[in-house]
Amino acid sequence: MDEGKPAYKRVLLKLSGEALLGELPYGLDFKKALSIARELKQIHELGVDIAIMIGGGNIFRGSRGVEEGMDRVSADHIGLLATVINGIALQDALEKEGLNTRLISAIEIRAVAEPFIRRRVLRHLEKRRIVIFTAGLGSPYFTTDTAAVLRALEIKAEVILKATKVDGVYTADPLIDKEATRFESIKFLEVIQQELKVMDSTAISLCKDNDLPIIIFNLNIPGNIKRAVLGEKVGTKVF
């Protein structure tokens, strides 16, 4: 591999809502959004096509609403709308870095976002626009992990970059179990068999069936997105 040459031409970055928390206990830290935007600009300048699927857990989680007695469908819809809020913030941050973007919502909200039309999205990517997917798949009961995989397959992304707060996949939760060890790489079947918390089982099965690799890495280490795109050893590769 040539130094500085990307290993992937088209990527889908899966960002959790918590990625936008920054130092806040709750809500949206715009400075963190700007920091992510600056990192994405670096890989955009390498000629990489970028799509993003963003979550909404910093604002509301459907599972939390269910625990408090809400109807599952209502709670999930609130969570999906929270992702649109995050998407608008990230779009603004990217455009402040001089990048052209398109915000896509699986729930029709034409005043702020385009509906998902596959051919139109592919055209945006061909024109070097960064595409931000929000509202998951627009349906309850599906996580943004599953939505990320499905959209990645639809746009023919070569890899999913899953940005987290830990530096890969461990034998157990490293924030709880100090004896947990990290995998440099692991196969999809092993993830399923060991019930590792990488993505939900539907998302992992979709990746396995379609040979779509996932790289899990720590977003809070500057330069990690670029390292992953360049094919350097960072985090854990699931394949």
Instruction: Please report, for the domain that includes residue 135, its CATH number.
Output: 3.40.1160.10
Determine contact, residues 195/189, Cβ cutoff 8 Å.
Answer: no
Q: Are strands 159-164 and 10-15 parallel, antiparallel or unpaired?
A: parallel
pLDDT of residue 1: 46
Q: Is residue 196 part of a domain?
A: no
Q: Is residue 215 part of a domain?
A: no
Question: How far apart, in whole angstroms, are the C-alpha atoms of residue 216 and residue 57?
Answer: 18
Q: Is residue 193 part of a domain?
A: no
Question: How far apart, in whole angstroms, are the C-alpha atoms of residue 189 and residue 204?
Answer: 9
Q: Determine the Cα angle at 127 with ends 108 and 133, to 5°.
A: 30
Structure tokens at 96: 């402040």
For 140, phi then psi, to 5°, come to -70, 165
Q: Is residue 122 part of a domain?
A: yes
Residue 40 makes CB contacts below 8 A (sequence gap 6+) with 13, 50, 52, 94, 97, 99, 130, 225
Domain enclosing residue 14, as ranges:
10-163+222-227
Tally of structural domains, the chain: 1
The pLDDT profile of the chain, 239 residues, written as one tens digit per residue, is 456 899 999 999 999 999 999 889 999 999 999 999 999 999 999 999 999 999 999 999 999 899 999 999 999 999 999 999 999 999 999 999 999 999 999 999 999 999 999 999 999 999 999 999 999 999 999 999 999 999 999 999 999 999 998 899 999 888 788 899 999 999 999 999 999 989 999 999 999 999 999 999 999 999 999 999 999 999 999 99
Question: What is the 8-class DSSP label of residue 129?
Answer: P
Question: What is the 8-class DSSP label of residue 127?
Answer: T
Nearest residue to 86 via CA among 143, 138, 17: 17
pLDDT of residue 175: 79
Q: Is residue 153 part of a domain?
A: yes
Q: Is residue 189 part of a domain?
A: no
Q: Is residue 21 part of a domain?
A: yes
pLDDT of residue 231: 97
Beta strands in 117-165 (DSSP E): 130-134, 159-164
pLDDT of residue 178: 87
How many Cβ atoms are within 10 Å of 109's Cβ, its own excluded?
16
Its pTM stands at 0.95
Q: Is residue 133 part of a domain?
A: yes
